[in-house]
Amino acid sequence: MERKITLLMAAFLAQFCVSPAPAEVRAYAHEYRIGDAVFEGYAAYDGSLPAMRPGVLVIHEWTGVNEHVRERVRRLAALGYAAFAADIYGKGIRPKSGPEAAKEAGVYRADRALLRARAAAGLSELRKMKEVDPARVAVIGYCFGGGAALELARSGAGIRGAVSFHGNLDTPDPSDAKKITGKILVLHGADDPHVPAASVAAFQDEMRAAGADWQFVSYGGAVHSFTDPSAGDDPSKGAAYDAGADRRSWALMLDFFEEIFGDQ
């Protein structure tokens, strides 16, 4: 009798309990223009989902759109978001060394208006994706891109939220934070030598003065680039991968998305 009940239950589950369809991640390079300049971003979405969904703009490190960023875009797509990696530098501009990257990133660090304009152009491309609900978008960024994500938020862009992973925190005019419309999440390596304690304190003062909705999480022992496996495993060099901080920061970002996209 017990075996018969078990078999009947199995038949019921087989008939009425359908497992979710596996993700069908479709990823592709996407070329776009800003004036006469050509840019090449990277987009991904789950083709098995029928409806529009929240969109996530991803902004790259100082080496440009690379495999680390492309992998994050695909991961977001597999989770049900539509994601687009903006190209801040321009098509084919992919620094191969630290000095090259520092020089290229320095152009935008010195001209925040230009940085914001390039990030805003990427946001526009994200919103054009037919899979994206243009009213439900957020931005995330890594290192150089983390700073760019915060600058986009400071520009008053209509985004639900901005997430910075081991990014720069400084800005030329802290009063711009009053223009922020979404929520802010900063995920920071507590031992990051590239973002000194004074910058952390100044950022937090900026957020308080603006009355922003912000969170700041530091990971003990983590340094710069803690989400990037290609950064190596030697924290004494100032940049290194930290698996624990990577896992925890990703989980916090997803929790943040549930909050800001809670009406989905």
Q: Is residue 7 part of a domain?
A: no
Residue with tokens 């840019």: 39
- Specify the long-range contacts of residues 23-30, CB closer than 8 Å, at least 24 apart: 23/48, 23/77, 23/78, 23/80, 24/48, 25/74, 25/77, 25/78, 26/77, 27/70, 27/73, 27/74, 27/77, 30/84, 30/125
- Binning pLDDT at 50, 70 and 90, where does residue 14 land? very low
Inform me whether the pLDDT recorded for 3 exceeds 90: no
Q: Is residue 180 part of a domain?
A: yes
Q: How many helices (H) and strands (E) does the chain have?
A: 7, 8
Name the percent of the chain lying above pLDDT 70: 91
At 21 the pLDDT is 55
Q: Is residue 2 part of a domain?
A: no
As a whole number, mean pLDDT of residues 155-179 equals 98
SS3 260: helix
As a whole number, mean pLDDT of residues 16-39 equals 82
Amino acid in position 160:
R
Q: Can you give the CATH number for the domain in which 128 is found? A: 3.40.50.1820
Q: Which residues contact 47 (CB under 8 A, 6 or more apart)?
A: 24, 25, 26
At 263 the pLDDT is 60
Q: pLDDT, tens digit, for every residue of 39-73?
A: 999 999 999 998 899 999 999 999 999 999 999 99
Q: Which residues contact 135 (CB under 8 A, 6 or more apart)?
A: none
Q: Is residue 12 part of a domain?
A: no
At 126 the pLDDT is 98
At 18 the pLDDT is 39
**Residue 197: which H helix or E strand, with range?**
helix 197-210
Encoded tokens for 231 = 């950064």
As a whole number, mean pLDDT of residues 15-42 equals 82
Q: Is residue 36 part of a domain?
A: yes
Q: Is residue 16 part of a domain?
A: no
Neighbours of 110 (CB within 10 A): 10
Q: pLDDT, tens digit, for every residue of 78-132?
A: 999 999 999 999 999 999 999 999 999 999 999 999 999 999 999 999 999 999 9
Q: Which domain holds residue 224?
A: 23-260
Question: What Cα–Cα distance (Å) separates residue 231 from each residue in 53, 62, 147, 223, 241?
Answer: 32, 13, 19, 10, 6
Q: Is residue 197 part of a domain?
A: yes
As a whole number, mean pLDDT of residues 14-31 equals 70
Domain count, the chain: 1
Q: Is residue 106 part of a domain?
A: yes
